[in-house]
Structure formats: C-alpha cells, structure tokens
A and B are shown apart, each in its own frame.
Chain A
Amino acid sequence: MTTHHIHSASFSWRQLGRTAVRESFRKLDPRVQWRNPVMFVVFIGAILVTVIGIADLLHGRWAEAGFVWAVDFWLWLTVLFANFSEALAEGQGKAQAASLRQARHEVTAKKLREPRHGAAWEEVPGASLQPGDYVLVEAGDAIPSDGEAVEGVASVDESAITGESAPVIREGGGDRSAVTGGTRVLSDWLVVKITSSAGETFLDRMIRMVEGAARRKTPNEIALAVLLVLLTIVFLVVTVTLYPFSYYSVHYANHSGTVISTTVLVALLVCLIPTTIGALLPAIGIAGIMRLLQANVVAKSGRAIEAAGDADVLFLDKTGTITFGNRQASAFYTAPGVTDQELASAARLSSLTDDTPEGKSIVLLAEQKYPEAKETLGDDAKWIPFTAETRMSGVDAGGKELRKGAPDAVKAWVKEKGGQWPAEIDQIVQKVAQSGATPLVVALDGRGLGVVELKDIVKPGIKERFAELRKMGIRTVMVTGDNPLTAGAIAAEAGVDDYMAEAKPETKLARIREYHQEGHMVAMTGDGTNDAPALAQADVAVCMASGTQAAREAANMVDLDSDPTKLLEIVRIGKQLLMTRGSLTTFSIANDVAKYFAIIPAAFVGTYPQLAALNIMDLSSPQSAILSAVIFNAVVIPFLIPLALKGVAYRAVSAQALLRRNLLIYGLGGLIAPFIGIKLIDIVLSLI
C-alpha cells in the first residue's frame, strides 16, 4: 500500500500559519462574517465596543476607556481566532489544490479525425476538446482531459493525482479503460474518447472540492447551525432585556449602583452565545474533507462524508477486502492407491508452467512438502493452457499426459481416455467443496490421482475488525461471485453478518434497495462499469481510482489508492466529523455556566452588594472578572483548533460507551474547564 500521500505534496505548517494569519484579517469583511451568524454577532459587538471606546477617549473618560478597550481587544481577537481557524483549514485545501493545479497546465491535444489508431490528427488546445472527441496520446504526452481508452495499451503515470509513483496500465475496453486528464503516458499509445469538457474534469472537480468552492453545508451541519442561530437569538434577547432589568433595579428597586454598561452587556452576550462551536464549525467541516484526502480519498461532496458516518450496512468485496484475493493450494487428497508424494509431484509438474497465482501456489505447496523431489520437464514438454471450454490445463511431456482442472471436466477427460475414476474422488471433491474451498482434480494418463484443495485465505485480523463494526451497529455484507457454498464458508470464517453469493450487478442493486426499504444506509465500493448502477444507488459509493469512467461518475467518492479496505476508514472519518461537531457544541454550551458565575456578580454587585456571594471563583475585581471571562472565551478557540482539525478521538465501541465517554470529556469537562481557566486568567490579570 502506498504511504506516499498527496497531502505531503507542498506545504509546511509554518507557511500555512502565516497565510492563515493574513487571511484572518482579510475575512473581517462583513460579507464574509455574515455567512457565520454566531460570529457575525461577535463582529457587530466588537464594532459597537470600539465605538464606545472611541467615545470614551473623545470625552476623556480615561478610567472607563481602559476597561472598554481591553474588552474590545479581546472581542476582536475572538473574531480573528475564528477567522484563523477557518483560514487554516482552508489553507490546507489551497495548498493541496495548488499542487493539483500543477498537473492541469495547458496542453495541446492530438485530435483524431476518425476514432481509430492511425487516422489523421490535428493539434488543438486541450481546453477546446468536447465530450465525444477522440484524441491520440503517445509516450510523453499528457492526457488532455478525462476520457475512456478505446484502443491501445499504455503505461500511465498517475502520480499527479494519486501520489503513487509506480505507473499503471490503461487499455482500451474493459475495466481499466478510464484515463484522467493531467496524467501522462509513459510508453506506447492510447486512443482516448473524451468524456468531460474543459473545467469539468475529475481533476477540476477535485481542485474545487479541496479549495472549498464547491463546499455546501451538509444536512447535519444545517440542523446544528439552526440550533446555534436560535440559541444566539435567545441569548441576544437575554442580554438586551438585561439593560431594562438593570435600569429598573438601579433606579426603582434599590436606588444604588450603576446601570449595566453596554460594554459589559456585549461581553456577556459574546460569552453566552456558542462562539466556540460557531468559530470552529467551518473548520471542522473542511478538516473532515482534508482528513479524507489524507487517506487518499476524494469526496465529491461533504454530504457524502456525513453519510459515511451514518452508513450501517457495508457491502465489502470478498476479494481484496476479506481475503487475499487469490486462492491458494492448501492440501492434497489422494485417491486410493496413490501416495501423497505421487499426487504432489504430479500436481507440481502440471503447474510448473502455469503462471496463475493458483498454479504457483500448487508448486509452492508441493515443494514445501517434498523439497527433495524437484523433477523438471523435458524439452519436449507441451503446455496445455486453461481455456473456458476445457476448464483444464496441463502438460504433455515424456509421453505422459498430465491434467488438472475442474472436477467434472477432468472426469469427462478421464472417461474419454477410458481410464478409471474411483468413486472416492467424487467424495473428496464434494467434501472439499462443502468446506468452502475449490477442488482441483489431478489426473495422469486417464487416471484420477487425487484432489488439490484451493482455499481463499482470509486476511488475519479481519474478523476482529468486523466484530468491532458489529459493536458499533454496522452490518457487514460480503459480496462475491463464488457459489453459495464457498461464499458461506468464507463468510463464516471471516465473521461477516451476511453474504451475497454469485453476486451480479442486478442482484447487488436489488439487495441495496432491500436494505433501503428497511431504512438502512448502505456503503459500498466498486470499480467496474457494471457496478455503476449499484454505486449510484448506494448512499456512500466509493469508486477505485482505477475504475471505469461510468463507475467514477456514479460514485460519490473516489479512492485514489484503489484499496478495498478503505471503506472502513471512510466510515471512521465520517463518524469523527459528526462527533467533533457534537462534542464541541456540548462543550461550548456547558461553558456558559462558569461564565455566568463570573459576569453576573460582577455586573450587579454595585446594585446588590450581596450578589458578591455568587463570586464563587473569588475573582479579584468586577472588571477583572468580566475581562477574564471574555479572554477565556477567546483563547479557548485557538486551543481547540487542533482538535477541530484532527477530530475527536474515535473508538469502535457501542453508542452507549461512546456517549458516556464524550459526555464525560466534553460535557463535564466543558462545565469545569472554564472555572479553572477563568480563575487562572484572573490571577494573571491581577498580577499585571
């Protein structure tokens, strides 16, 4: 698996930070602030206090001005910190986009007059190509736009997109036909049918995605934003009405003290509204996309990532995800009167020239068992390759005819040769098949020698992983083209919840619909064109980078590593995104309790001195109490930026355990942390 991730392409944190600081100031534009209602309130509050501060200076109210400007300074910092967190997350995306853009330089294309190799071509600018045009790309040429290879075979360097330096093979027709604009042909040639017009290629969309231009708010983000806005409105009412309350208390109820000042009201408002989550919400969303990108997965929308967190049924391809992909020889079963070594030797000889992974594994197993017996074939040996009709392969050497293949095919061959076929072989074949393995029969000169057992090897550790998923309430469905018997055995061994044997695109689609009917959300991976309908139906559809154009179109994420186990990581990132939002919201709201204990006694102690009893943090003065709360509210944002970008820690445990853990850390923590923080800031302030 590749460890070369595209994110490492071209940025350093130091540089990113510097750009983000610059961006934080640029984002002070009211039109930008307006997009985030919670922070817009802080922004307006800061302006208001600035005006008050200027008025105080003009009127020479030096004593008040000091406090007002101190509060104002921290209010502006609150706004800037929020801008910074967003800019930092965006900066990561921009750095990424810049490195991608390097691949998208202007190219000229060889546009073919006719869709075949050898036809006349003319040089045109790559940007002028339309879907349906045919172009010729030869060694050294850049592929001008997304398309499908219709003719030829070539090795292509796709490192600009995947970061993987090893070239990949692309060929006309079949499942390896998709080519991406911006990649480069290293050897040979391809005739490519263009499928995307300029500006709409995969690379373009990827750039837009990471730059955040195409970022739409996701459903949960909208719901949370609604809640935050409503809370903000209510707290606005709380603070605005506090002025008449205070006025009444001072002038009618108690006749002492002074009416609460606008500066203190703004300070209280900013402390009460959920600024922490409001400031970090955009960054959390962008960071989710970036984390996915770091896993070398490009999501076409933020919505897809959120859906990944919700997916509760995973369709996993057996090959590559659950098993190592190739069946391997695991045992020899002899017919009566045949020795084990005899069978092993025959099987080995029949496979010596067999280049398939199965064939190699037979040779390997035989040599492991009998290392001393290493016969070689004579020069006259004639290799009989496997075909779909004969379903056998073998070798004719030294007058002997050796065959191995599907039991019924070999049986027919033996019968035809007039040889003997012991009934025991049928029994062994049946037994092997029932265990979920594939039986291969070996025969020599019309005599059945025995059976080679080919087994799918389940990846180590996968069973534990599925058990974890089950705990989280995610069902795993193994999808395979194998017969039900084989599929069932592997499913049992791997510990999946369900399996689909003899899966065809239609049956996959039907099964996804069934799950939808029951209200489940399905995630799947696919690559072939025939996967496209199922991908389009699934809620989270991950397409391999090597997949066909149709599959890429139908999917809502593309895995650049083409790693089938990636789905598990995608689900994790999706959940983390939601958890981070929820946890920081809880933290933000829980913070309010301590802030009340700081500000309320400070604001009203002039009117009702007895309210000093509520100053349980024993803050040194009313002004210091209010300032400490505002400072805490501001600095908590940069403190939490790393958490927002990284996401809260994620564990594969039950919903119950997860909730308990996060409530303890972010709920209870959010209740307690500001008491300590505000007190510490107050101590520092009183020392100055």
Chain B
Amino acid sequence: MNDALLLTFTMLVVTIVLAWPLGAYMQRIFSDQSCLAKRLLGPVEHAIYAAAGVDAKADMSWRQYALLWILFNLVGAVFLYLLLYFQNYLPLNPMHFGSPGVQISFNTAASFVSNTNWQDYGGESTMSYVSQMLGMAVQNFLSAASGIVLALAMIRGFTRAEKSGIGNLWVDLVRTTLYVLLPLSVILALFFVEQGAIQNFAAYVHVDLIQPFLHKGQMVTQQVIAMGPVASQEAIKLLGTNGGGFFNANSGHPFENPTGLTNFFQMVAIFLIPFALVFYFGHRVKNMRLGVGILAVMLLLFTPLAILSQQQDLAGNPVLTTIGVDQKNTSLLAGGGNMEGVEDRIGTAGSALFGAVATGTSTGAANSAYDSFMPLSGMVNLLLMQLGEVTPGGVGTGIASMLAFVLIAVFLAGLMIGRTPEFLGKKIESYEIKMASLAILVMPMLVLIGTAVAVSLPGGRDAVLNPGAHGFSEILYAVTSPSNNNGSAFGGLNANTTFYNLLTGLCVLLNRYLAYLPLLAIAGSLAAKRRIPASPGTLNPATPLFVVFTTVVVLLVGALNFIPALGLGPIAEQLSLPTAVHNTSSIGH
C-alpha cells in the first residue's frame, strides 16, 4: 500500500511539475505575446489561415462559435464515417480488412469525434492502417483541440468585459493543435518508441510458439502478432484524453505500453494538459491562487478515490482468501492483490491507479480489465465519471465543467453572505445558473434514463454476461462511460450489438453537444458583462474554505444522483463479499 501511495503522489507531483511550465507556455501561445514556438511555426499557422481563407482577426459571438464548433465536428464525423466504411477500397490495409459496417462506422465516428473513444471493435482485427492514422489519430488531435477550445472560450468569458465575442474558433483550434498537441505528441511518441512501442506499416507477423499447445485436438504452433503505427497514435491517445487503443487490449498491450516507465508516463500524459489548463486559467484571470484552488478541488476528489481503488484491489479478493489463495503484496506475486485481469508487468496498484486516472479524465484507455476490479474499485471508476468528468476531466472540458460547478458553488456561497453572487468580477445571475445547471445535469439524465432503458429492454439485458448486482454495474458502466465522453469499457457486456451501438452512440452525441454548448453560452454572457471591482465584502474563492465547499458541492450534486444506482450495483456486490461481515441491523428482519 505504501508503494501505491508513493506511486500516486509521485505521478501527481511529476504531472504538476510538468504542467506548470506548460500552463505558462499556453499563456504565451494563446495571447499576442511572442515566443520561440510562434517564431518557428508562425509561418505554418498563417499559411493555414491563408489556405482556409480564415480571417484570424475576426471575433465570434458565442452562437457563431458554437455553430462552427458543431459544424467542424460534423464534417469530421462524416469524413471519419466514410473513411471507415470504405476502408476496404483504400491503401495501407495489409490485412485486407473489410468494411466494418454501418453500426461500427457510426458508433466509432460519433465516439472519436466527441473525444469519447468508446470502441465496440478490436483495433487489430477491424481497422486498416489508413483508418487508424487518417481516421482515429486525426480525430484524436481534432477532438482534443475541440475540447480545449471550450476551455479557452470559457476562460475568455471571465477575462473579457463588455465584449460581444468570445474569440475565434479557427485560431483557437489551429493554435491548440499546432503549438500544443503536435509538439507534445512528437516528444511522447519518440519516448514510447525508445521504450519499445512499435511504429511500422508491416503486415502482421507469424511467430513460432515456444510452448506449442493442444487446442480442440489441434496442435497450435504459431501466433499472429499485430503490427502498425502504434507509438504515434498512442501519444495523442493519452495527451488528448482520448483513450481509443490501437489494439483491443489498449494500454494493457505491450506494444502500446511496453514498460513500467511508460505506464507511469502514460498516466502523467493523461493528466498533463488538464492540469496545465488549470494553471493557464490562473494566469489568464491573474489569480493563480484561484487556479491552484481549482486544482485542489480536483485533487481532493480524485486522490482519496484513487487510493481507495488501489487499496481495494491490493487487499485481494476475499472469496479467494477464504479458499486459501495467496494474494500477498509481494514482488513474487507481481505485487499481489486482485490479479484477475491485471498485467503482471503493471501490477494491481498500477492498474487501479491507471483506471482512476483514465476515468477521472474522460480517457477511454485501460491497462487492465476494469470488469475484474473489486466492486469498490469498479465503483471508483464509475463515480469518477459520474462526478461529471471534472477530476480533472478531459482536456478543456474538465476545467470548463468544473467552472460550471464553481459557478453553482459561488451562487450558493454568494447568497449565504447576502450579496448577488459574483465570480471574478462578473455577476452570476439566472442565465448563468440555468446554463451551468444544464451543463451539469444533462449527463446524470442521460446516464439514468439510458440505464433505465437498457435494463428494461431485452436488447439491453441480454448483452449482460454476469448475473447479479455485477451485471447491473456492467450496464450502468456501459451507459455512464459514453454519456461522459469517457469511452472506457467495463467489459462483461457484449457492447457490439445494434442496441448498444445505438444507445452508446446517442449518449455520446447528446452529452457532447448538449452539455457543453451551455458552457459556451455562459462564456458569451459573461464576456458581455461589466466587471465589478472586488471589495472585502466580495466572496474570495481562492481560499481553503471555498475549495472545501466547492468539493462538497461537486460531490453532492454528482453523487446524490447516483447513490441509488450505485447501491444496486457495486455497493450491493461489495457488501455480499464474505469478509464484509457487518452487524446486520434489525432492518429487513
């Protein structure tokens, strides 16, 4: 457990140390200040504007910004759909994969364009290299950039006063991709290659087995090993909190995540930009204490849950303990604990922590089978998504959604001190509250209604492979993940059915395009407002008290919606375990 704590805190500290300069760098990139990157890549940026006929000086109203944002995503989705559907006619398809069909093409297009990266297919058995590179990898960049621009626009709402616009979408997208995502991806991809990740266009390799074995009366002597341009896609998969694996095994696959070191830096890469955006926020609103306060809210929620998840998995499965299986936390047992579904190379704690990092950031990646987690560890994954992806959440969307929570907290706190609530000099009125509430509450509605539909229809029920409360958790997870644009899969559920392809595809689109538009509306409304000077009577949000209050608000709003569902899923499962001996009270007797 001490090693798990050490791992958790080292990962967080390293991320913060790297995110701090990145936040300062973003401050330069997205302002008019000059810097080395702009001198080097500036001509490329301007060439893009010139080629696309974009007026980089134009300022867009929030409605324009939002409309173009949707159109941009729509074009991307149509392109991806066509690319996948017709992949059998396109080059770089050494394994001659056929068209994945309408359902997978739709589900994947919706999922990758919205930064969800829910995968109802196995990459190495479905997708050609051109689909992976021109389809998935491109959307990995663009969907991440689409998320980040939400944060940029929303932050502008706070920094601007009496302006009608919230920025220029094209400039935001180009700068994000060109100056932030591309350079970081190149660095990370090179590091992964150095560590052993592969990067090639080769056909799959047949190798002789060291230990041939008998299967259904036949001697199996060979194994097929999938190849591909993995490292380049892996980097942006993590940096953009995308999570769609090149291979079906995702970050559990040694070609995606070859070593303990890459596992560590995969987690750092996932957290890097969400953290950096919080610092960027601090720079832009000229209140770094507030930025740090928001990061503190995120970590106050994330850290205890991540540690609980690891503790539960490290403690092992009590059912196995009762029949005398050794699950000791020793190096001989690869760290021990609940090793079901866990890679030996990574171990239980590294898997549980990775799960928390991925679900806390709307990253669909996984390096283990979440379905095999202990019930409470699985619940941590669920809860981190159900809190609304704010711990720290996906790139851009995380801080933007968190700011919606902050507005609600500011509103309540403001009333409690007897003033019309204000935040960063902007009055928070009914329009902001309406939009912030919508942004926060669309997701719980999707999850609850989606799950209710799934458990009520045969199409939803029949896909479940496990009985009992665990089966309920599987359905709940299968709806929660796409409804949060997370994309990670719990497993134990046959998700590639017409029912789930449709349900998850809809959840993905509804959340992405309903929950985040109100945030742009808030940005527009705030940017138009006059700035009010601060006084001792103004609520100062950059205080420990307010940090704790906001944390409780996120927890209450997030958790209250899901307590009954979690009670029927992971909690019921946990309490049914043999070591969970409780003094059963008189209730029910």
Which residue of chain A has its CB nearest to the CB of B588?
A605
**A219 x B535 contact (CB < 8 A):** no
**A575 CA / B565 CA spacing, docked (Å):** 40
The B-contacting residues of A in range 611-643, CB under 8 angstroms, are 611-615, 618-622, 625
- Given that A611-B575, A659-B545 are known contacts, is A245 also in contact with B412, CB under 8 Å in the complex? no
**A596 x B560 contact (CB < 8 A):** yes
7 CB < 8 A contacts A-B: A230-B434, A238-B448, A520-B533, A581-B415, A582-B416, A610-B576, A620-B586
Distance to closest chain A CB from B569 (angstroms): 9
Chain A residues positioned under 8 Å from B417 (CB to CB): 575, 579, 582, 655, 658-659, 662
A473 CB–B CB distance under 8 Å? yes
Chain A residues positioned under 8 Å from B585 (CB to CB): 612-613, 615, 618-619
Name the one of B432, B583, B587 contacting A605, with C-beta atoms under 8 angstroms.
B587
**A596 CA / B559 CA spacing, docked (Å):** 11
Distance to closest chain B CB from A182 (angstroms): 35
Distance to closest chain A CB from B449 (angstroms): 6
B245 CB–A CB distance under 8 Å? no
**B587 x A585 contact (CB < 8 A):** no
B429 CB–A CB distance under 8 Å? yes
B259 CB–A CB distance under 8 Å? no
Name the one of B537, B568, B586 contacting A246, with C-beta atoms under 8 angstroms.
B568
**A642 CA / B37 CA spacing, docked (Å):** 64
B31 CB–A CB distance under 8 Å? no
Distance to closest chain B CB from A12 (angstroms): 31
- Given that A245-B568, A610-B580 are known contacts, is A253 also in contact with B588, CB under 8 Å in the complex? no
Stretch at the interface among B87-95, B281-289, B468-476: B468-476
The A-contacting residues of B in range 441-489, CB under 8 angstroms, are 441, 444-445, 448-449, 451-453, 455-456, 461, 467-469, 471-472
Which residue of chain A has its CB nearest to the CB of B561?
A238
**A168 CA / B159 CA spacing, docked (Å):** 54
**A244 CA / B420 CA spacing, docked (Å):** 41
Distance to closest chain B CB from A537 (angstroms): 16
**A575 CA / B415 CA spacing, docked (Å):** 9
**B413 x A590 contact (CB < 8 A):** no
A237 CB–B CB distance under 8 Å? yes
- Given that A223-B429, A254-B468 are known contacts, is A600 also in contact with B567, CB under 8 Å in the complex? yes
- Given that A244-B455, A600-B567, A604-B567 are known contacts, is A579 also in contact with B418, CB under 8 Å in the complex? yes
A675 CB–B CB distance under 8 Å? no
Distance to closest chain B CB from A641 (angstroms): 19
**A625 CA / B560 CA spacing, docked (Å):** 19
Interface size, chain A (Cβ < 8 Å): 90
**A609 CA / B575 CA spacing, docked (Å):** 9
- Given that A227-B437, A518-B533, A611-B571 are known contacts, is A473 also in contact with B538, CB under 8 Å in the complex? yes
B530 CB–A CB distance under 8 Å? yes
The B-contacting residues of A in range 546-585, CB under 8 angstroms, are 574-579, 581-583, 585
Name the one of A244, A247, A667 contacting B552, with C-beta atoms under 8 angstroms.
A667
Chain A residues positioned under 8 Å from B432 (CB to CB): 223
B430 CB–A CB distance under 8 Å? yes
Stretch at the interface among A306-314, A318-326, A391-399: A306-314
**A351 CA / B545 CA spacing, docked (Å):** 63
B247 CB–A CB distance under 8 Å? no
**A612 x B587 contact (CB < 8 A):** yes
**A25 CA / B153 CA spacing, docked (Å):** 51
B554 CB–A CB distance under 8 Å? no
Chain A residues positioned under 8 Å from B319 (CB to CB): none
**B445 x A659 contact (CB < 8 A):** no
Name the one of B415, B445, B538, B572 contacting A224, with C-beta atoms under 8 angstroms.
B415
Name the one of B472, B546, B564 contacting A242, with C-beta atoms under 8 angstroms.
B564
Chain A residues positioned under 8 Å from B329 (CB to CB): none
**B449 x A241 contact (CB < 8 A):** yes
B195 CB–A CB distance under 8 Å? no
**A589 CA / B558 CA spacing, docked (Å):** 12
The B-contacting residues of A in range 210-258, CB under 8 angstroms, are 219-220, 222-224, 226-227, 230-231, 233-235, 237-238, 240-249, 252-254
Contact with A along B518-534 (1 / 0, CB 8 A): 00000000000011110
Distance to closest chain A CB from B428 (angstroms): 8
B227 CB–A CB distance under 8 Å? no
- Given that A234-B561, A655-B537 are known contacts, is A219 also in contact with B430, CB under 8 Å in the complex? yes
A471 CB–B CB distance under 8 Å? yes
- Besides A604-B572, A611-B571, A615-B587, 8 more A-B contacts (Cβ < 8 Å) are A234-B441, A237-B445, A241-B452, A519-B533, A608-B469, A612-B584, A655-B417, A663-B416
Give the size category of B's interface with A.
35 or more
Chain B residues positioned under 8 Å from A224 (CB to CB): 411, 415, 433
Return the 8 tightest CB-CB contacts between A and B, nearest first.
Answer: A473-B537, A582-B415, A575-B418, A473-B535, A610-B575, A223-B430, A582-B416, A248-B455
Chain A residues positioned under 8 Å from B506 (CB to CB): none
Chain A residues positioned under 8 Å from B413 (CB to CB): 582, 659, 663
Chain B residues positioned under 8 Å from A620 (CB to CB): 586-587
Chain A residues positioned under 8 Å from B453 (CB to CB): 244
- Given that A244-B452, A245-B451, A252-B471 are known contacts, is A596 also in contact with B563, CB under 8 Å in the complex? yes
**A608 x B415 contact (CB < 8 A):** no
Which residue of chain B has its CB nearest to the CB of A647?
B418
Chain A residues positioned under 8 Å from B537 (CB to CB): 312, 472-474, 654-655
User: Which residue of A227, A306, A621 has the most chain B CB atoms within 10 A of its CB atom?
Assistant: A227
User: Which residue of A231, A605, A612, A650 has the most chain B CB atoms within 10 A of its CB atom?
Assistant: A612
Distance to closest chain B CB from A622 (angstroms): 6
A538 CB–B CB distance under 8 Å? no
**A41 CA / B588 CA spacing, docked (Å):** 30
**A575 x B469 contact (CB < 8 A):** no
Contact with B along A519-559 (1 / 0, CB 8 A): 11000000000000000000000000000000000000000
Chain A residues positioned under 8 Å from B536 (CB to CB): 470-473, 654-655
**B412 x A586 contact (CB < 8 A):** yes
- Given that A237-B444, A245-B455, A519-B530 are known contacts, is A621 also in contact with B586, CB under 8 Å in the complex? yes
B302 CB–A CB distance under 8 Å? no
B556 CB–A CB distance under 8 Å? yes
**A249 CA / B413 CA spacing, docked (Å):** 40
Chain A residues positioned under 8 Å from B539 (CB to CB): 655-656, 659
Chain A residues positioned under 8 Å from B561 (CB to CB): 234-235, 238
A405 CB–B CB distance under 8 Å? no
**A299 CA / B419 CA spacing, docked (Å):** 18
**B416 x A666 contact (CB < 8 A):** yes
Contact with B along A278-313 (1 / 0, CB 8 A): 000000000000000000000000000010011010
Which residue of chain B has its CB nearest to the CB of A516?
B530
